[in-house]
A and B are shown apart, each in its own frame.
Chain A
Amino acid sequence: MKSTLSILAVSCAMGSAAMAADRTLTISVYSFAQDEYKEALYDPFEAICGCDVVVETGNSVERMAKIEANAADPVIDMAVISTQDALTLARKDLIAPLDPAKLTNFDKLYDTAKDPIGDHMAVGYTYYASSIVYRSDLVEIDSWGDLLGEELAGQVALPNITGTQGPLTVMMLGKALDAGTDLAPVITEIGAHADDIVTFYSRSSELVQLMNQEEVIAAPVGRFAWGSFEKSSLPFAWATPKEGQAGGMNVMVMTKNNGNEDLAYQFMDYWLSTEVQTKVAQMLVDSPANKDVVVSDEIAKNLTYGADVINALNIMPAAEIVDNRAAWVEQWNTEVIQ
C-alpha cells in the first residue's frame, strides 16, 4: 500500500512539473516538422513573450476529440487544423471568432486565407497543392482520369475518403469524368474499379513506403509529402494534370473561453508575420499564406507558392465536405470497400 501511495505521489509530481512556468501558451499542432517549428517559431516566441509554449501534437482527429472533451475547461489555447475540421469545431461551438484587428499581419494574407470558413472563425496560415505522384520511368500521368485507367490497374493507391485528401481526389476525378458537382456517381465509378486499387491509404508516410517498394506506382498526395518522395533514389515525378491541381489550406483557431486569448493572438500574429512565414517556407515546412514572403526559385519549386499557383488551386469549400462527409463515407463503405 505504501508503495502505491508513493507511486501516486510520483505520478502526480510528474503531472504538475509541466505546469511550472508563470505564463503558458498551450498549442495543438500537426506532429510534423517539430524540430523546425521549434527553431523558427516556438523558441523565438518564448523569448519575445517570456512565456512557455507547450506543444501538443497528434493527428487532427485525436486533437479535435480532446478539444471537445475539454470544452468546459480548455487545455488548448489555439490549434492549427484543416478548414473542414475548423468548421466542425465551429459548428459545435468550441472555437471563438477571431478579431482581425488583433492580428497586425492580417492584411498581408492572401484573400482566401483571411476568412476561409466564414464568421472569422479561422485564419489560414498555409496552402498546399494536391496532385498525383508517379514513377516517371513506368507511367505517364496527365489527367486525374488516368488513376482509374487500364495502365495503372493493380498498381495505384487512392487516399481514403475519411482523410483530408480523399474528397479532393474524388472532386478531381469528378472533373476528369465530367460528373459535375455531385460526387455520388464518382464514388460509384471508383467502386467499379475497387479491385484495381491496391489500397486506400490514410497516411502519406504509408504511401511513401508503398511507392518505394513498388507496391504502388501512382497515387494522389498533398504537396507537403513531396519532400519524402524527392529524397528517394527512385524517379518520382509530380503530375500537372490537365484538370489542374486540387488544393487545401490549414488554419488557426482559438478555443472558446480559454482565458488566454491575448497570448494566443500574439502567437498567431507572430506565426503569420513575414519573418516567421519566410523562415518556415525556407525550411520547406509550410507554404506561406503571407503575400509578402519572398523566396528563391529553388525553394518556390518545392512549395505551393505565389498568387498564380494559389489562385489556380481547386479548393473544396469546407462546408461542402462537412455537410456531405457522412453520406460519402456511407456510400464509400457500401460501394467501394465491399
Chain B
Amino acid sequence: MFRNRREGLALALPAAIFSTLLFLVPVAILLSEAFRSDTGFSLQGYVDFFASPLNRSVFLRTLKLGVLVAGSAAIIGYAAAFCIVNLPGKARGTVFGMVVLPLMISPVARTYAWIVILGRTGIVNDAIVGLGLSASPIRLLFTETAVFLGLLQLFLPLMIISLVSAMENIPRDVIPAARVLGASWLNVFFKVILPLTKEGLVIGGTLVFTGALTAYITPAILGGSKVLMLETLLYQKVNVSNDFVSASVIAMILIAMSFAANLVLKRIATARS
C-alpha cells in the first residue's frame, strides 16, 4: 500500500468523474421520476407497481431466471475454467478463444439461432421425437426454458473468463500439494479454489446475474410477450404506454437487484474464506 492519498486520488478520480457526469447524473435525473409526484416526494410508484399481480409475477420470474442462470453459469464455469487452466499452453489459447468467440457474435444473431434450434422443426425437437421421448414435437419456444438457455449461452463466457483469469493466479503447486496432503476434491474446492478465486466469482456472478436481468433481446425474442421479464416490461412501459414513472420504478428495482446480488456474492465469498 502506498500512502500518498493525493496521488492515488489523482489517478482514480478521472474515471469516477467521467462516470458521474456523463452517466450517473443523467440516469439519476431519470430515476428520480420514480419518486416524484405532484406533491413532491412519493413512493406511490412502487406501491402501484407491486399492487399489480402481473408485475409481481414478472418480478419473481426475473429473479428466478437470474438466479438460475447465474448459478448454472457458476457450476459449469468452475468445471470449464478448471479444465482450461490445466490445459497445455497451446490448447489453452485455442479453447479460451473458443469460449470468447460467442461474445463476438451479436446477441441478436445468437438469439435467432435459438429460434431455429428450439423450433417445432428444429434439431432439439427432431432429437426428442427421434429418441421416442415424445410422440409429437413439444413447444419449447416462448417458454421459460428457452429464455433460460438463451441467457445462459449469452452470459456463460463472462463467468468462464472471470474464473479463468482468477484461477491462473493460483500458484501451480497449491492444488497438488493439498491433494498430496489428503484433501478430497470437494475440500480442495471449498478450502483452496473458492477462496483464491472469490474475486473472479464475484465479478463473474455479478456480470452474469446483471446481464440476465438487463438483457432485452433474448427474453423479447425467445420469451415473447408470454414470458415477460422486468426488462421487457420496462421496454413496454417506455415504448407503448410512455409511462416513465413505471419505467423508472422498474429500473430502480433492477438496479437494486444487481446491487443485492453483488453484496450477497461478496458475503458468500468472504464467509467461505
Question: Direct A–B touching in the complex (beta carbon < 8 Å)?
Answer: yes
Binding site for B on A (CB under 8 A): 61-62, 65, 154, 160, 162, 194, 198-202, 206, 209-210, 213-215, 325-326, 329, 333-334, 337-338
Instruction: Identify 12 residue pairs between A and B in the complex whose beta-carbon atoms are under 8 Å apart, listed by A's number.
Output: A62-B239, A65-B238, A65-B239, A162-B240, A199-B142, A200-B224, A209-B112, A210-B141, A329-B240, A334-B53, A337-B225, A337-B228
A61-B239 in contact given A202-B225, A209-B115, A334-B52 (Cβ < 8 Å): yes
Residues of B194-229 at the interface with A, using a CB-CB cut-off of 8 Å, are 220-221, 224-226, 228
Docked CA distance A337–B226 (Å): 5
Q: Which residues of B contact A61 (CB under 8 A)?
A: 239-240
> Are A213's CB and B120's CB within 8 A?
yes
Most buried by A among B54, B115, B220, B221: B54
Q: Which residues of B contact A338 (CB under 8 A)?
A: 53-54, 57
Most buried by A among B53, B224, B228: B224
> Are B224's CB and A199's CB within 8 A?
yes
Q: Which residues of A contact B139 (CB under 8 A)?
A: 154, 198
Counting CB contacts under 8 A, is B241 at the interface?
Answer: yes
0/1 string, B218-255, CB within 8 A of A gives 1:
00110011101000000010111100000000000000
Q: A61-B240, A162-B239, A214-B119 are in contact. List 5 more A-B contacts (CB 8 A).
A: A200-B226, A202-B224, A215-B141, A329-B241, A334-B53
Closest to B120 in A: A215
Counting CB contacts under 8 A, is B122 at the interface?
Answer: yes
Closest to B116 in A: A213
Counting CB contacts under 8 A, is B32 at the interface?
Answer: no
A199-B53 in contact given A65-B238, A329-B240, A337-B225 (Cβ < 8 Å): no
> Are B226's CB and A214's CB within 8 A?
no
Docked CA distance A91–B122 (Å): 47
Q: Which residues of B contact A333 (CB under 8 A)?
A: 52, 54
Binding site for A on B (CB under 8 A): 52-54, 57, 112, 115-116, 119-122, 139, 141-142, 220-221, 224-226, 228, 236, 238-241
Q: Which residues of A contact B239 (CB under 8 A)?
A: 61-62, 65, 162
A-B contact count (CB 8 A): 64
Q: Which residues of A contact B224 (CB under 8 A)?
A: 199-202
Q: Which residues of A contact B225 (CB under 8 A)?
A: 160, 162, 199-200, 202, 337
Docked CA distance A208–B120 (Å): 15
Give the 7 A-B residue pairs with the shortest CB-CB distance, closest first. A61-B239, A199-B224, A200-B225, A162-B240, A213-B119, A199-B142, A333-B54
Report the minimal beta-carbon distance from A132 to chain B, rounded to whole angstroms. 19
Closest to A213 in B: B119
Q: Which residues of B contact A206 (CB under 8 A)?
A: 221
Closest to A68 in B: B242
Closest to A158 in B: B225
Docked CA distance A65–B235 (Å): 12
Docked CA distance A86–B238 (Å): 17
Report the minimal beta-carbon distance from B215 to chain A, rounded to whole angstroms. 17
Q: Which residues of A contact B141 (CB under 8 A)?
A: 198-199, 210, 215
Q: Which residues of A contact B228 (CB under 8 A)?
A: 337
Docked CA distance A19–B141 (Å): 45
Report the minimal beta-carbon distance from A18 to chain B, rounded to whole angstroms. 23
Q: Which residues of B contact A325 (CB under 8 A)?
A: 240-241
